């Protein structure tokens, strides 16, 4: 099979078409040396193989490493970059303004964290609540494999919306996706708008400002390019076997679905691969 793309893996690019359009993107740290994107949907129903050449580089600084952290970072970048701090995963733990634990990068805080963020409800493996910036709508929902999503409220900062998400989670509203269920394509028998109404009721009880009007709480639906759903979900692991592939049966979230198993490309950000088809 000929080589169709060679580059450093990162999160796939998405386009909210019907079905969602996917493309490989080069995550090499130097933008001037990145190769062009490669569309993936045309490979559905055909053999496709990823061949890991053993080279892993930090997607932030380019350091050669044996293990990645977060979005393909080396350990030093994970410990120093603002976009790798704990509050990125748990925004309720934002420590901006704490003199004993200052923000890693004030410019990042002002340009990203202290910008409006949305609280939303979505259907992935089930109903979940989550948060995202407006710039990441709808790609955030697609990355999670959501079949439907509704924006519920907009708050002035990541910390503000993170505190609300945590409070909802403590009350039983799920904030995680069960990825194996999501990849089986099982129908979630839940009325998403009814859940949205319950969340809105709680926000109103708490006196939360920024709740979107009913006309703004519009449900978006997503269709994924999947020819056949797996009945059992088995993961390819490039660290144990540098070859992953088979007949490409679908793409959902950040997963390629083969007849031999699935692979989360986002997990392998920083890994250099050759793609043959």
Q: Which of the four pLDDT bands, split at 50, 70 and 90, describes residue 124?
A: very high
- How many whole angstroms separate alpha carbon 185 and alpha carbon 46? 20
pLDDT above 90 (res 141): yes
pTM for this entry? 0.95
DSSP string, 112-158: IITS-EEEEEEESSSEEEEEEEGGGTTHHHHHTT-SEEEEEEEESSH
User: What integer pLDDT is reported at residue 98 of this predicted model?
Assistant: 93
pLDDT above 90 (res 172): yes
Per residue in 31-78, pLDDT (tens digit) is 999 999 999 999 999 999 999 999 999 999 999 999 999 999 999 999
Contacts of 175 by beta carbon, 8 Å cutoff, 6+ apart: 128, 129, 130, 165, 168, 169
User: What integer pLDDT is reported at residue 189 of this predicted model?
Assistant: 73
Query: How many other C-beta atoms can be found within 10 angstroms of the C-beta atom of residue 155?
Result: 21
Q: 100-104: long-range contacts (C-beta < 8 A, 24 or more apart)?
A: 104/80
- How many whole angstroms separate alpha carbon 234 and alpha carbon 126? 20
Tell me what the mean pLDDT of segment 10-31 comes to: 97
Query: How many other C-beta atoms can be found within 10 angstroms of the C-beta atom of residue 2?
Result: 5
pLDDT above 80 (res 159): yes
- How many whole angstroms separate alpha carbon 113 and alpha carbon 91? 9
Domain assignments of the chain as residue spans, ordered by start:
3-66+225-276, 82-221
Pairing of strands 220-221, 148-155: antiparallel
Q: Could you give the percent of the chain with pLDDT greater than 90?
A: 94
Q: Which of the four pLDDT bands, split at 50, 70 and 90, describes residue 224?
A: very high
Per residue in 76-115, pLDDT (tens digit) is 999 999 999 999 999 999 999 999 999 999 999 999 999 9
Exposed/middle/buried for residue 66 (C-beta within 10 Å: 0-12, 13-18, 19+): exposed
> Residue 150 in contact with residue 218, Cβ under 8 Å?
yes
Tell me what the mean pLDDT of segment 18-31 comes to: 97
User: What integer pLDDT is reported at residue 190 of this predicted model?
Assistant: 82
User: What integer pLDDT is reported at residue 1 of this predicted model?
Assistant: 84
Q: Which of the four pLDDT bands, split at 50, 70 and 90, describes residue 186?
A: confident
User: What integer pLDDT is reported at residue 185 of this predicted model?
Assistant: 84
**264 strand-pairing partners:** 255
User: What integer pLDDT is reported at residue 174 of this predicted model?
Assistant: 87
- Residues 162-176, buried b or exposed e (16+ Cβ, 10 A)? bbbbbebeeeebeee
Average model confidence (pLDDT) for the chain? Answer: 96
Q: Could you give the percent of the chain with pLDDT greater than 70?
A: 100
Nearest to 130 by CA among 118, 138, 115, 146: 118
> Residue 111 in contact with residue 158, Cβ under 8 Å?
no
User: What integer pLDDT is reported at residue 233 of this predicted model?
Assistant: 94
């Amino acid at each position: 099979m000929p080589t169709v793309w060679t580059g450093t893996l990162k999160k796939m690019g998405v386009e909210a078409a019907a079905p969602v359009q996917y493309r490989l993107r080069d995550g090499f740290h130097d933008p001037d040396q990145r190769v062009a994107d490669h569309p993936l949907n045309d490979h559905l129903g055909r053999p496709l193989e990823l061949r890991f050449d053993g080279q892993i580089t930090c997607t932030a600084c380019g350091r050669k490493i044996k293990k990645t952290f977060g979005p393909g970072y080396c350990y030093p970048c994970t410990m120093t970059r603002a976009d790798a701090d704990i509050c990125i995963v748990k925004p309720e733990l934002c420590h901006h303004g704490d003199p004993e634990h200052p923000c890693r990068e004030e410019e990042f805080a002002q340009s990203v964290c202290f910008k409006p963020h949305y609280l939303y409800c979505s259907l992935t493996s089930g109903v979940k609540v989550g948060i995202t910036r407006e710039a990441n709508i709808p790609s955030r929902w697609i990355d999670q494999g959501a079949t439907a999503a509704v924006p519920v409220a907009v708050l002035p900062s990541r910390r503000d919306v993170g505190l609300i998400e945590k409070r909802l989670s403590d009350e039983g509203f799920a904030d995680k996706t069960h990825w194996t269920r999501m990849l089986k394509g099982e129908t979630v028998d839940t009325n998403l708008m009814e859940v949205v109404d319950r969340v809105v009721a709680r926000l109103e009880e708490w006196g939360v400002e920024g709740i979107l009007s009913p006309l703004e709480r519009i449900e978006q639906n997503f269709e994924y390019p999947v020819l056949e759903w797996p009945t059992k979900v088995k993961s390819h692991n490039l660290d144990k076997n540098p070859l992953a592939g088979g007949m490409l049966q679908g793409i959902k979230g950040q997963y390629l679905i083969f007849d031999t198993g699935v692979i989360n490309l986002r997990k392998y950000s920083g890994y250099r691969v050759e793609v043959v088809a």
